[in-house]
Chains A and B, each alone.
Chain A
Amino acid sequence: EAGVTQFPSHSVIEKGQTVTLRCDPISGHDNLYWYRRVMGKEIKFLLHFVKESKQDESGMPNNRFLAERTGGTYSTLKVQPAELEDSGVYFCASSDPGTGKGPAYEQYFGPGTRLTVT
């Protein structure tokens, strides 16, 4: 079974430009999450999709970030316009309550996209 994949693995853009990150969850996983780690900080939650609906977007830093999950499959996270403080690693994770072993279901993480804004 393929794991969570993310594209690109690394992106370098200039301040003010737009970048779109993509996440393909494990097939059949309704839950999709975005997290990020900015330099020197902890991994922080951004938002949670259940199928195509945003369940929780409390972690989105501001309106320069837009996440979509059309059709409930892959998701994109767009940053427009990018700022220097957006640099970091953006992780995507997915989970399926149907296969969980407990209330806190296992989340499967992708390798992350390293975003560098110069």
Chain B
Amino acid sequence: LAKTTQPISMDSYEGQEVNITCSHNNIATNDYITWYQQFPSQGPRFIIQGYKTKVTNEVASLFIPADRKSSTLSLPRVSLSDTAVYYCLVDFGNEKLTFGTGTRLTIIP
């Protein structure tokens, strides 16, 4: 399974755009890139998924360069409620998810 590397923690002020980058050098051709968000005392929650280029939904955007060896989750105009741990996963198919350490994002008022 492809391994991912992402910053352990990040801080940002409210209202700013936050970009979290994930490295996945060994991503396979069939792998998709998926991001999950986890609040304290809750299970992880799906945010966004993509294969290449750019994907945008009502919560975030996901930027994937042509070589797919990295991806960037972009959160527009963050608020205090965006404080959470964000996980980057590389997976294919309806199989087990492989979580790394995640990035602990803290939003400062």
Contacts and interface: CB of A to CB of B under 8 A. Distances in A.
Contacts of B96: 33, 45, 48, 56, 58-59
B46 A112 contact: no
A95 B34 CA distance: 15
Contact of A102 (B43, B44, B51): B51
Contacts of A97: 94
B49 A101 contact: yes
Nearest to B98: A45
Contact of B43 (A42, A45, A103, A110): A110
A11 to B, nearest CB: 15
Contact of A103 (B32, B45, B97): B32
A42 to B, nearest CB: 5
Nearest to B85: A43
Nearest to B87: A43
Interface residues of A, number: 30
Contact of B45 (A59, A100, A109): A109
B95 interface: yes
Contacts of A31: 94
B95 A56 contact: yes
Interface string A7-40: 0000000000000000000000001010100000
Interface of B: 30-32, 34, 41-46, 49, 51, 89, 91-101
Interface of A: 4, 31, 33, 35, 42-45, 48, 56, 58-59, 91-93, 95, 97, 100-112
29 contacts: A31-B94, A33-B97, A42-B99, A42-B100, A42-B101, A43-B99, A44-B99, A45-B96, A45-B98, A48-B95, A58-B96, A91-B44, A95-B94, A101-B49, A102-B32, A102-B51, A104-B32, A104-B34, A104-B89, A104-B91, A104-B94, A105-B94, A106-B49, A107-B46, A108-B46, A109-B42, A109-B43, A110-B43, A112-B41
